[in-house]
Amino acid sequence: MLQAIREKAQGWIAWVIVILISVPFALWGVQEYLGIGGEPKVVKVNNREITERELDNAFHRFRTRLRDQLGENYRAGLIDDRLLKGQVLNSLIQQELLAQLAQRQGMNVSKQMIQREIASVPLYQKGGRFDYDTYQRALRQQGISSEYLAQQLRVGMVIDQLSQGLEQSAFTTQRELRESQRLREQRRELGYLLFAKDEFIDQQALDEADVQAYYEGHAADFKAPERVKLEYVSLSLEQLAKQVQFSDADLQTYLDNHRNEFLLPEERRVSHILVALEEGAEQAAKAKAEDLLQQLQKGGDFAALAKQHSDDPGSAPQGGDLGFFGRGVMDPAFEQAAFALDTDQISQLVRSSFGYHIIKLHEIRGNREADLAAVRDRVQSAYSREQARARFDEYFERLANLAYEIPDSLVPIEEELGLKLHSSDWISRAGGGVGPLASPKVINAAFSDEVLGRGNNSEPLEIDNDQVLVLRLLAHEPASTKPLDQVRPQVEQALRQQQAIQAAAQAGAQALEQLRSGKTLAELAETTTARLETPGLIDRFDAKLPPRLRNEAYRLPRPAEGQASHGGVELSNGDYAVMALTRVEDGSLGEQDPALRQGLDRTRANRYFELFVAALERQADIEVLDKKALAGD
């Protein structure tokens, strides 16, 4: 089912169902599972209430996912939290309505179906199979219970049944399909003038009043983001492993109990005769090698022939003996031949990048037990990690208890567990931390109500399987607008860009009027700073044109024979294009593309689903109980 949703994730189905399953939103019956029925309520949907905690969790998780998806392009200052929170609440309401409808209609899924669904999720698998420990660890990292996950999946699967029913009722007629194909494959011939904004930047004169007005009108662009400094302790397996003390007897005992983990790999001792390749003389080299092979097959002495004829200066004096080696050392062709031989067997000719080889196998050292000296470093590392793992689990529990029982300080943790107290540099919601502090979990915790609002320690944050942090607030700076003197160069550059864009658009508008008055693109290219481009026939998906220009070209009316249609558009980079459309070629109505029908059916299904949800909203009794919580105050 999850795979089906991913494949169908378009429009409303993506928004309603994928988010429903991937984010712990308010769902039918969830209050009973979480024991949060007494919390402040935000909205009532047909007598079912969505709590403030559910909205906050949904909002923060959605914003976290947005930050993860955008990466370095994420800018917290550009996101209107109030607007975003309203959109999240709207999704919660829609999902609640769908869940209630499913309940009224008696739709449900079995426990076995949910178990199969959970087992199929890669996040809960190890080695391609469901693993209970991996599953439990993932739930802890997500901050949800197994009951809550099951409820999410139950409602998601039921709502998927609703959506599939609507999707199966959507179909495209043959006439609609032909018309869509005609328009989709339509090609258009055009030329255009490009007025680049950069041509106008140096012409812009700025006065102080303009600079001040731009600064005041775009204050949000020049904000110093809210940021925090953190105090934290780190518990890591590597850290504990370094503290483990051991004797040679401890390591020997560990090696004896784990022999199979420290077997030395198979090695082979071979000799070879190399006939090197000289440019233009490969046939001669091969003939020489074949002659040597025949001598060996007739009983010739391998070592003697190697000393006399081998072109390998390193091994020839030793009769071609290369000693022992394992896999991954020699030329691949040489290795394959050497590891295919039996003891005392001589190979056929082997061609490598060096020339022609004749190989003789002398001895095999198979997978064998190692003594401690040969694998001491590996045994020491494995022993230390095993000992540290037991201590890690014990320390984790004590760390969690201390962080909770003494929420206003990390000093007791430092003193009792011996974990060093660290402090961070400034970190914003967009990041800025290094090492484990770059984790989204750290950012979320640092700006959470528990840490930032109440000044408490965070809960233990599992950065990965081998490291845990507990942090608290050390310093806080709210977002603020930077003084004009500090950002004047950026303000002036932005203002020049804005004015240059306006100047390019004005020049383009004047050129468009002249085109409509009878001038040609070529004539205007001679009298303006614009660059003439003649792409010729284009299609709707032509990548060589800027998307806005291509879209505008397909909005222009079909020109009369021998005439042109004209239009202008500002491009995404601020340049302005003025175009002349001279010809339209409709698409062929030959063989129809099955993908086109599927796309049209999907679009119609999404529209049906949107209208269906809107109808549920109109019929529902929806009451906002706490506008303050919605506003994020």
Q: Three-state DSSP class for 275?
A: strand
DSSP secondary structure string for all residues of 294-350: HHHHTT--HHHHHHHH---TTTGGGTTEEEEE-TTSS-HHHHHHHTTPPTT-B---E
Region class of 480: left (phi > 0), else alpha (psi between -120 and 50), else beta: beta
DSSP-assigned beta bridge partners for residue 428: 227, 431
Q: What is the mean pLDDT of residues 359-369?
A: 83
> Does residue 27 surpass a pLDDT of 60?
no
Label residue 387 by pLDDT band (50, 70, 90). Answer: confident
Same domain, 445 and 566: no
Same domain, 126 and 153: yes
Does the residue 177 lie in any domain? no
| CATH number reported for the structural domain that contains residue 16 in this entry | 1.10.4030.10
Does the residue 554 lie in any domain? yes
Higher confidence at residue 41 or residue 36? 41
User: For the chain, how many residues are written?
Assistant: 633
Same domain, 128 and 42: yes
DSSP secondary structure string for all residues of 86-103: HHHHHHHHHHHHHHHHHH
> Does residue 28 surpass a pLDDT of 60?
no
Q: 519: exposed, middle or buried (C-beta count within 10 Å: 0-12, 13-18, 19+)?
A: middle
pLDDT at 359: 95
> Does residue 328 surpass a pLDDT of 80?
yes
Same domain, 6 and 63: yes
- Of 358-362, 424-428, 579-583, 589-593, the poorest mean pLDDT is in 589-593
Q: What is the mean pLDDT of residues 334-361?
A: 92
| CATH number reported for the structural domain that contains residue 231 in this entry | 3.10.50
pLDDT at 59: 80
Q: What is the mean pLDDT of residues 345-373?
A: 86
Q: Which long-range contacts (CB under 8 A, 24 or more apart) does 20-23 make?
A: 20/95, 20/152, 20/155, 20/156, 20/159, 21/152, 21/153, 21/156, 22/65, 23/58, 23/61, 23/62, 23/65
> Does residue 429 surpass a pLDDT of 60?
yes
CA-CA distance, 345 to 362, in Å (whole number)?
A: 8
Same domain, 149 and 195: no
Same domain, 569 and 614: no
Same domain, 231 and 202: no
CB atoms within 10 A of CB 428: 19
- Both structure tokens of 237: 């397996």
- Of 19-33, 138-152, 402-416, 572-586, the poorest mean pLDDT is in 19-33
Residue type, 305: L
Label residue 278 by pLDDT band (50, 70, 90). Answer: confident
Does the residue 474 lie in any domain? yes
> Does residue 436 surpass a pLDDT of 80?
yes
| Segments forming the whole domain that contains residue 65 | 2-172+607-631
> Does residue 284 surpass a pLDDT of 80?
yes
The most confident of 19-33, 275-289, 468-482, 616-630, by mean pLDDT: 468-482
Q: What is the mean pLDDT of residues 525-539?
A: 93
Contacts of 24 (CB under 8 A, 6+ apart): 57, 58, 61, 142, 143, 144, 148, 152
**Alpha helix ranges (H) inside 469-546:** 484-516, 521-527
Same domain, 503 and 442: no
In Å, the largest CA–CA distance within the chain is 102
Higher confidence at residue 148 or residue 12? 148
Higher confidence at residue 570 or residue 50? 570
pLDDT at 34: 35
* Residue pair 251/528 in contact by the 8 Å Cβ criterion: no
Sign of the four-CA dihedral 207, 208, 212, 213: negative
Does the residue 569 lie in any domain? yes
User: Considering 333, 365, 397, which residue would you say is the last residue of a domain?
Assistant: 365
> Does residue 73 surpass a pLDDT of 80?
no
CA-CA distance, 204 to 500, in Å (whole number)?
A: 7
Helix or strand holding residue 177 (H, E): helix 174-184
**Alpha helix ranges (H) inside 185-281:** 198-201, 208-217, 237-243, 248-257
* Residue pair 341/364 in contact by the 8 Å Cβ criterion: no
> Does residue 289 surpass a pLDDT of 60?
yes
Does the residue 378 lie in any domain? no
> Does residue 136 surpass a pLDDT of 90?
no
Same domain, 12 and 150: yes
* Residue pair 114/154 in contact by the 8 Å Cβ criterion: yes
Give how many domains the chain has, as a whole number: 4
Q: Three-state DSSP class for 17?
A: helix
Same domain, 110 and 16: yes
* Residue pair 619/104 in contact by the 8 Å Cβ criterion: no
> Does residue 388 surpass a pLDDT of 90?
no
pLDDT at 592: 62
Residue type, 147: E
Q: What is the mean pLDDT of residues 565-569?
A: 96
CB atoms within 10 A of CB 180: 19
- Both structure tokens of 356: 């022609």
Residue 283 CA, distance from chain mean position = 54
- The four Cα atoms 82, 87, 90, 94 give a dihedral, to 10 degrees, of -160
Q: What is the mean pLDDT of residues 275-303?
A: 91
Region class of 171: left (phi > 0), else alpha (psi between -120 and 50), else beta: beta
Label residue 395 by pLDDT band (50, 70, 90). Answer: confident
- Of 14-18, 106-110, 551-555, 627-631, the poorest mean pLDDT is in 14-18
User: Considering 310, 334, 365, which residue would you say is the last residue of a domain?
Assistant: 365
Does the residue 51 lie in any domain? yes
Q: What is the mean pLDDT of residues 380-395?
A: 84
Contacts of 359 (CB under 8 A, 6+ apart): 270, 271, 272, 334, 337, 338, 341, 346, 347, 350
Q: What is the mean pLDDT of residues 210-226?
A: 89
CA-CA distance, 59 to 346, in Å (whole number)?
A: 72
Higher confidence at residue 342 or residue 54? 342
What is the pTM for the complete model shown? 0.45
pLDDT at 36: 39
Does the residue 255 lie in any domain? no
Same domain, 69 and 158: yes
In terms of DSSP bridges, do strands 576-585 and 565-570 run parallel, antiparallel, or are they unpaired?
antiparallel
Q: Over the stretch 464-507, which tens digit does the pLDDT of each residue have? A: 778 899 999 999 999 889 999 999 999 999 999 999 999 999 99
> Which of these, 11, 284, 21, lies nearest to 156 by C-alpha position?
21
Same domain, 17 and 130: yes
* Residue pair 267/399 in contact by the 8 Å Cβ criterion: no
CA-CA distance, 339 to 330, in Å (whole number)?
A: 11
* Residue pair 598/167 in contact by the 8 Å Cβ criterion: no
| CATH number reported for the structural domain that contains residue 295 in this entry | 3.10.50.40
Higher confidence at residue 390 or residue 561? 561
Q: What are phi and psi of 143, to 5 degrees?
A: 75, 35
CA-CA distance, 41 to 84, in Å (whole number)?
A: 19
> Does residue 14 surpass a pLDDT of 70?
no
CA-CA distance, 39 to 625, in Å (whole number)?
A: 12
The most confident of 191-195, 443-447, 621-625, by mean pLDDT: 191-195
Does the residue 207 lie in any domain? yes
DSSP-assigned beta bridge partners for residue 533: 192
Helices 372-405 and 248-257, packing angle to 10 deg? 100
CB atoms within 10 A of CB 517: 7
User: Considering 423, 449, 478, which residue would you say is the last residue of a domain?
Assistant: 478
- Both structure tokens of 38: 């007494």
